[in-house]
Chains A and B, each alone.
Chain A
């Protein structure tokens, strides 16, 4: 009697294990499935555009007049706009993010370190629309007056705002990478008569380089995919910029601004989805590069740096 009972318990236990395992598996695959479906949808709605124009005309066409008759769907100005704001944002965010990471990981006393870390986390939690608003009403007018410009909503403004968004990513990921450098390396360096700064520059940063590069690339990926800020402060002109005070219309801003007005399954609608594909490919490339770099030196250290 009791033997049967135990047997039954084991059976129910086993069934429970299987049920739990399947449940977790289901949710894990659900996210993959959803991603797959989104992609499928993106391509289904975007690819029909290429029945009307060629890929080259789409990517490198310099005129974006989707509502004209006949419409023109050249997104080169949008691509340039995205790359320009990302490039200048990186120019600001990479040094600032890295230097703050080095300061937090290696130099700051414990108290200051804690304070700085929470402030940077706070910065990461700032809603992008708030940042965009700040760019619109504070930075924009200031730029306009200081540099005597027709508009303060331009590459410069968007780059600064995007940099503020990318700094937390770059800083906290870099800091993790710097922190993970074994204490043995630092001790070896000090024991060889290096100062703190020589140790940071010659040992700690090179040893953390793969993690730091990943941080930089993910920060840039964040900047290129960001929508609300560029929609609000980049100026919205779909023209190839000639200087950093020109207004641009990055891909994300274009999609967000125009999707509501594009007639369903019109050429314009397909063009916006195709722009989404381009954006997807770019961010995917960024992530793959980050992944490649972070794996590359993992086993043998940074090799011959």
Chain B
């Protein structure tokens, strides 16, 4: 069966000023799968993730070369609006970052920006998103409370629900569990497993067990290059490259 790749990067180089943070990244991300990006700190995995929804545009003095195709269209083409790209490709950050607004208003943020005004539709969306993020039962009675009163794990699931509410195709996750306790982490991992039926998930993680547990594909990054990119099982049991093996077995990193 022909594989359906939703995002493809072609020979992508990325510079912070004169510093080359990524070189020659060519990867294909399959639709409705979980792809994990692993590697030591500073290897460029988060940078790549932030390139995929043009978040790096917000940093001054950066430059992209090569192509990143989302559904066949280069998202760095001059006629592409980054806002539209970010509506289709959601993001969850390392540190839970709900807005200092009510739980309800956190979820409705993106739909309202997208112009959804009808209150029935918005309410249904809030419930649906929170249910998808397995947070509904915990917060359904406190929707008007500030999101800041939730625990860290709940806040992170709220951030996932907030991203889901804009009905994206892809969800990028930048070490979403690194600030959370093991129980919250397990909940998020379970959640990722259910979400992949409807969404493509690309996740950066420092935790190799996590990558092994949740992903179908894993890319190993080192010094701004993709060292090895393959199905997760292969990477973790029989990698082709010595460096990958060394990293996975904990010999460096």
**Chain A contacts to B: CB under 8 angstroms:** 182, 184-195, 198, 202-203, 206-207, 297, 300-305
Known: A192-B113, A193-B83, A194-B113. A301 touches B146 (CB 8 A): yes
Is A206 touching B97 in the complex (CB atoms < 8 A)? no
Total A-B residue pairs with C-beta atoms closer than 8 Å?
Answer: 87
Most buried by A among B110, B113, B149: B113
Residues of B within 8 A of A (CB): 53, 55, 58, 83-84, 86-87, 90-91, 93, 95, 97-102, 105, 109-110, 113-114, 144-149, 159, 162-163, 166
Give Cα A190–Cα B82 distance, bound, in whole angstroms.
9
For the complex, give the distance between the alpha carbons of A37 and B146 in Å: 45
**Pairwise interchain contact B100-A302, C-beta atoms closer than 8 A:** yes
Question: CA–CA, A192 to B114, complex, Å?
Answer: 10
Chain B residue numbers with a CB within 8 Å of A207 are 99-100
Q: Are B102 and A303 in contact (CB under 8 A)?
A: yes
Closest to B162 in A: A192
**A186 → chain B closest CB, angstroms:** 8
Q: Which residues of A contact B102 (CB under 8 A)?
A: 303-304
Let me know if A304 and B166 touch, CB within 8 A: no
Say whether B144 contacts A304, CB under 8 Å: yes
Determine if A187 and B83 form an interchain contact, defined as CB atoms under 8 angstroms apart.
no
Determine the chain B residues whose CB is within 8 A of the CB of A195 once the complex forms. Answer: 83
Among residues of A, the one whose C-beta sits closest to the C-beta of B57 is A190
Do residues A184 and B97 form an inter-chain contact, with CB atoms below 8 A? yes
**Seed contacts A193-B83, A300-B148, A304-B144; 15 additional CB < 8 Å A-B pairs:** A185-B99, A188-B93, A190-B58, A191-B53, A191-B91, A192-B110, A192-B113, A193-B87, A198-B113, A207-B99, A300-B100, A304-B101, A304-B105, A305-B100, A305-B105
List the 4 shortest-distance A-B pairs measured between CB atoms, nearest first.
Answer: A301-B100, A193-B87, A184-B97, A191-B91
Which residue of A184, A188, A203 has the most chain B CB atoms within 10 A of its CB atom?
A188
Once bound together, how far apart are the Cα atoms of A198 and B115, in whole Å?
A: 12
Closest chain A residue, CB of each to CB of B172: A191
CB of A193 within 8 A of CB of B146, answer no
Q: Say yes or no: B100 contacts A303, CB within 8 Å.
A: yes
Shortest beta-carbon distance from A184 to chain B in Å: 4
B109 touches A202 (CB 8 A): yes
Contact B109 A184 (CB under 8 A): no
CA distance A191 to B110 in the complex (A): 9
Partner of B97, one of A188, A194, A300, A305: A188
Closest to A202 in B: B109
Task: Determine whether the beta carbon of B113 is less than 8 Å from that of A193.
Answer: yes
Q: Are B100 and A191 in contact (CB under 8 A)?
A: no
Distance, CA A198 to CA B87, complexed state (A): 14
| Most chain B CB neighbours (cut-off 10 Å) among A184, A185, A188, A191 | A191
Report the nearest A residue to B90, measured CB to CB.
A191
For A189, what are the chain B residues with a Cβ–Cβ distance below 8 Å?
Answer: 99, 109
- B101 A190 Cβ-Cβ under 8 A: no
B146 touches A300 (CB 8 A): yes
Q: Give every chain B residue within 8 A of A192 (Cβ-Cβ).
A: 86-87, 90, 109-110, 113, 162-163, 166
Given A193-B84, A194-B83, A304-B146, check contact A187 B100 (CB 8 Å).
no
- List chain A residues, Cβ under 8 A from B84: 193
Known contacts A193-B83, A193-B84, A301-B146: A188-B99 contact under CB 8 Å? yes
A-B contact pairs, 16 of them (CB 8 A): A184-B97, A185-B99, A187-B58, A188-B97, A188-B98, A191-B91, A192-B109, A192-B113, A193-B86, A202-B109, A206-B101, A300-B146, A301-B147, A302-B146, A304-B101, A305-B101
CA of A43 to CA of B99 in the docked complex: distance in angstroms? Answer: 48
Chain A's nearest CB lies how many Å from the CB of B97? 4
Chain A residue nearest in CB terms to B101: A305
Neighbouring B residues of A187 by C-beta, 8 Å? 55, 58, 93, 97
B169 CB to closest chain A CB, in angstroms? 13
Complex CA gap A195/B98 in Å reads 18
Contact flag A193-B166 (CB < 8 Å), given A184-B93, A185-B97: yes
From residue B59, how far is it (CB to closest CB) to chain A in Å?
11
A300–B83 CB distance below 8 A:
no
In the complex the two chains form, what is the Cα distance from A187 to B56 in whole Å? 10
Q: Which residues from chain B contact A185 at a C-beta distance below 8 Å? A: 97, 99-100
Residues of A within 8 A of B146 (CB): 300-304
